[in-house]
């Protein structure tokens, strides 16, 4: 799968770990920054990842910031993006099954690599259930 990944400074260290894990699991991953621990503004990176997914350049997106909240707010402003804050692996499964999330966001300051990898595994393995969820997802875009 073609993936875009991004973070602010708070997610930078964990992003490197997640990037390597995704690549070693066979994904083609584009790292859209940030590229150091220097303080930056999360909207700049969240928007890049969201636009890459919305345009079809990437199939799915992964975002990290301190809480995951900032990046999820920004990504959800981009038309066609359904970004979910995956604060545990079960939420990650449900974000696909019920919401067909196309961007997964993580709270870097409250997560460990194992939980993020399990969440990503669940998200990739899960399938959108359609049916009543299809109707609800269709009502999201204004
Ligand atoms: C950065 O300190 C922090 O505010 C940011 O990473 C994020 O948590 C915002 O939602």
Which residue's structure tokens are 């301190």?
A: 66
Domain count of the fold of the chain: 1
Q: Residues 87, 109, 114, 106: what is their CA dihedral angle, to the nearest 10 degrees?
A: 40
Is the CB–ligand 1 distance for residue 68 below 6 Å? no
Catalytic residues: 65, 98
What's this model's pTM, rounded to 2 decimal places? 0.98
Count Cβ atoms below 10 Å from residue 97 Cβ, excluding itself.
Answer: 17
Per-residue pLDDT of the chain (142 residues; tens, 9 = 90+): 999 999 999 999 999 999 999 999 999 999 999 999 999 999 999 999 999 999 999 999 999 999 999 999 999 999 999 999 999 999 999 999 999 999 999 999 999 999 999 999 999 999 999 999 999 999 998 7
Is the CB–ligand 1 distance for residue 72 below 6 Å? no
**Domain span holding position 58:** 2-138
pLDDT of amino acid 80: 97
Q: What CATH number is given to the structural domain containing 103? A: 3.40.1400.10
Residue closest by Cα to atom 3 of ligand 1: 66
Is the CB–ligand 1 distance for residue 29 below 6 Å? no
pLDDT of amino acid 142: 77
């Amino acid at each position: 799968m073609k993936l875009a990944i991004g973070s602010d400074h708070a997610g930078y260290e964990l992003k490197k770990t997640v990037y390597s894990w995704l690549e070693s699991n066979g994904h083609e991953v584009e790292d859209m920054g940030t590229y150091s621990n220097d303080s930056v503004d999360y909207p700049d990176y969240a928007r890049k990842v969201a636009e890459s997914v919305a345009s079809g350049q990437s199939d799915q997106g992964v975002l990290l910031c301190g809480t995951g909240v900032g990046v999820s707010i920004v990504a959800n402003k981009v038309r066609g993006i359904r970004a979910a804050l995956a604060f545990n692996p079960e939420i990650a499964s449900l974000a696909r099954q019920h919401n067909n999330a196309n961007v997964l966001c993580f709270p870097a300051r409250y997560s460990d690599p194992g939980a993020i990898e399990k969440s990503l595994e669940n998200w990739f393995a899960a399938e959108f259930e359609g049916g009543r969820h299809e109707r609800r997802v269709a009502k999201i875009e204004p």
